[in-house]
Amino acid sequence: MSSRKRIVVLGSSGSIGGQTLDVVRRHADRLEVVGLALGTRVDVLEAQVREFGVLHAAVGDENLREAPAARSLAAHLALAGDAESAATLGFGQDAVVDLVRLPEADVVVNALVGAAGLRASYETLRAGKVLALANKESLVVGGDLIMPLAAQVDAQRRANGLAPKTGPAGALMPIDSEHGAIYQCLLGERADEVTRLWVTASGGPFRGRTKEELVDITPAQALAHPTWNMGAKISIDSSTLMNKGLEVIEAHHLFDMPYDRIEVVVQPQSAIHSMVEFSDGSVKAHLGTTDMRIPIQFALSYPDRWDAPVRPMDFRTLGSLEFAAPDADTFRCLALAREAGRAGGTLPCVMNAANEIAVAAFLAERCAYLDIAGCVEAVMEAHETRPVESLEQLEETDGWARRTADAWINAR
């Protein structure tokens, strides 16, 4: 049996997926990639498969099955497999999800973008695997389904001797600077002594601007994040503060914390990744270099800590740390996400789907920047919230919200 943790990376061509592979390169003696999936970049997938000796791959876009790059990848995998371990190459969303069930996989890194990642998270935990989660929508949309499954896998890990002797059993590890920070601040602490979670925000590229100054914002301006290098959708969400709203909902589910005890604070230097406040007034803060490889590596190394993947922060050159309250009146998405989270049920699903449609429309210059919040609010108001019952129900609700959001944008 391999002494290395064997991982599947879903979304391997994105920012988180690429940085996960950087961590694997640094710790090749501890990590082994056994499956890779992405949406469309078959050329990138082939290069990754060859570099890491991967036998199982999937492409989300079924229409690429006959593409020259796909045929080249298929030919390579046919030669790479053997009688004991036949290689596989699948196309379509079902093929992506199938990778989480690989018998040899220990950990699934879910770095898929958008609501498409929910089923992958659900099936990862159903298969008893560790879920290293970078897909926000899994918890925002399906937290009521995901967290009970994670608790079951935690219990299995304890029963099988796979959990650490102290601390969380580690079935669900957040790959996120904020939630990774909170997770680490809570280690060794009692849940009943936690009084507040402080989720930090950079404030995005438009911090301090008024609503009037946001009327003519272009996609290029919104994509220019001041401290983090992220994908397009997450960059837009960061600029509207929707990203922070999604993180508040995630924190509610991950740490079983009421919404009135989760606060957002703007910390422009992005040096403090989040904080936890305790009943005696003490506050623990997680500080570090602004590089996602740190939380990615911790999610994969837990409960151990491996050598730093980046240069540590030099506090002598950090300078000042600033703090401010977020402007939820100007950046309405934060307030809308909180409203959806408090209401619970299917409303976060609707809010998330409407936001995905609105962000895509803004990036395609089909709507204005401020229309993103307007679209989300209109679709939320049109929805009759119900308790979450199943993945199928959430998928149906997601589809309704997307159609409603698209119709709202087309009517502008």
Task: Tell me the C-alpha distance between 174 and 325, whole Å.
Answer: 25
* Percent of the chain residues topping a pLDDT of 90: 85
**Which amino acid does the sequence have at 149?**
L
Distances (CA, A) of 212 to 137, 209, 277, 304, 369: 30, 8, 36, 49, 11
Is 243 marked as binding a ligand? yes
How much is the mean pLDDT over the chain?
94
CB contact at 8 A, 90 and 112? no
Whether 1 shows a pLDDT value over 60: the answer reads: no
Any known ligand binding at 238?
Answer: yes
Residues paired with residue 324 on neighbouring β-strands, in sequence order: 266
Q: Mean pLDDT across the stretch 203-228? A: 88
Indicate the DSSP class of residue 62. G
Q: Kindly report the CA angle at 152 between 56 and 95, in degrees rounded to 5? A: 20
State yes or no: 123 annotated in a binding site. no
Residue 178 CA: distances (Å) to CA of 248, 282, 296, 297: 10, 19, 12, 14
44: number of Cβ within 10 Å: 16
Radius of gyration of the chain (CA): 21
To the nearest 10°, report the CA torsion of 81, 85, 89, 90. Answer: 170
Looking at residue 326, its amino acid is P
Percentage of the chain with pLDDT > 70? 97
Q: Is 110 marked as a binding-site residue?
A: no
Q: Nearest Cα to 25, choosing from 313, 293, 290, 231?
A: 293
Six token digits for residue 298: 């911790």
The response to whether 137 counts as a known ligand-binding position is: yes
Q: Has 178 been labeled as part of a binding site?
A: yes
Are the beta carbons of 206 and 239 closer than 8 angstroms? yes
Quote the CA–CA distance of 257 and 279 in Å, as a whole number. 14
Range 233-259 average pLDDT? 95
CA distance 27 to 220: 36
Beta bridge partners of 266: 201, 324
11 is in an annotated binding site: no
pLDDT of residue 229: 63
244 in a known ligand binding site: yes
Q: Which residue in 67, 66, 121, 47 sits closest to 57, CA to CA?
A: 47
Instruction: Give the tokens for residue 35.
Output: 């499956």
Is 341 labeled as ligand-binding? no
Judged by average pLDDT, the poorest of 23-32, 46-55, 83-92, 122-131 is 83-92
273 annotated ligand-binding residue? no
pLDDT band at 226 (very low <50, low <70, confident <90, very high): low
39 appears as a binding residue in the annotation: yes
Q: Tell me if 128 is assigned to a ligand binding site.
A: no
Question: Does the annotation list 203 as a binding residue?
Answer: no
pLDDT digits (tens, 9 = 90+) for 369-378: 999 999 999 9
Beta bridge partners of 196: 277
pLDDT (0 to 100) of residue 79: 87
What are the φ and ψ backbone dihedral angles of 326, each rounded to 5 degrees?
-70, 150
Sign of the dihedral defined by the CA atoms of residues 354, 357, 360, 361, in that order? negative
